[in-house]
């Protein structure tokens, strides 16, 4: 968003950390308040959910669902931390302490869903393909995800094109869906 050259060479996780800081410091505000919150990973990990809450269709609670998604995102972050540090498991006190320090010093926002979903869909955990999921449910899920992605892209389109004009002297997002 700054047009800074260093951002073009940053890792995805560094950009996410920077983005979360922008949200936390209110340098970036979304029209939907759910996207304006950044949480300490440790706090999210300690959130309790009611059993079966994620299965309810009739009494859908957006706050509860958001908390569940945040918990899953923290799980992904911890798994990634474990992979990066070559930690086989968290049975040893040393590894538990490393995990706890990670949770105490890292933040998560619902905006990270896009990054972690892409990582999981493209690189990891495709076991859901072997699961017998009804085709309409599977299709609905991906339609909702596509619409969410396109709405987010639309929200950033003007900013992306502004930076693109500065960097490449042309707009890169001119298509409509």
Hey, where are the domains in the chain? 8-131, 133-177
The confidence score (pLDDT) of residue 126 equals 55
HEC readout, 92-144: CHHHHHHHHHHHHHCEEEHHHHHHHHHHHHHCCCCHHHHCCCCHHHHHHHHHH
* Lowest-pLDDT choice from 5-19, 46-60, 93-107: 46-60
Q: Tell me: the pLDDT tens digits for 36-73?
A: 999 999 999 998 887 777 666 666 778 888 898 999 99
Is residue 155 a contact partner of residue 30, using CB atoms and an 8 Å limit?
Answer: yes
Cβ atoms < 10 Å from Cβ of 163: 17
Asked whether residue 123 carries a pLDDT value surpassing 60, the answer given is: no
Q: What is the pTM of this model?
A: 0.72
Q: Which residue has the higher pLDDT, 58 or 163?
A: 163
- pLDDT tier at 117, thresholds 50, 70, 90: confident
């Amino acid at each position: 968003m700054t047009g800074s050259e260093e951002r073009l060479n940053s890792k995805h996780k560094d950009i996410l950390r920077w983005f979360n800081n922008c949200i936390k410091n209110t340098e970036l505000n979304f029209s939907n308040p759910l996207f304006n919150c950044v949480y300490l990973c440790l706090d999210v990990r300690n959130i309790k959910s009611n059993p079966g809450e994620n299965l309810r269709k009739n009494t859908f609670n957006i706050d509860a669902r958001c908390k569940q998604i945040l918990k899953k995102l923290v799980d992904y972050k911890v798994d990634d931390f474990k992979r990066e540090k070559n930690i086989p498991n968290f049975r040893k006190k040393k590894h538990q302490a490393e995990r706890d320090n990670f949770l105490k010093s890292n933040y998560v926002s619902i905006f990270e869903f896009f990054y972690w979903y892409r990582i999981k869909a493209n690189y990891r955990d495709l076991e859901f393909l072997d699961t017998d999921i009804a085709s309409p449910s599977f299709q609905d899920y991906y339609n909702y995800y596509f619409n969410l992605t396109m709405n987010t892209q639309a929200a950033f389109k003007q900013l992306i094109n502004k930076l693109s004009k500065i960097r490449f002297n042309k707009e890169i997002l001119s298509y409509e869906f």
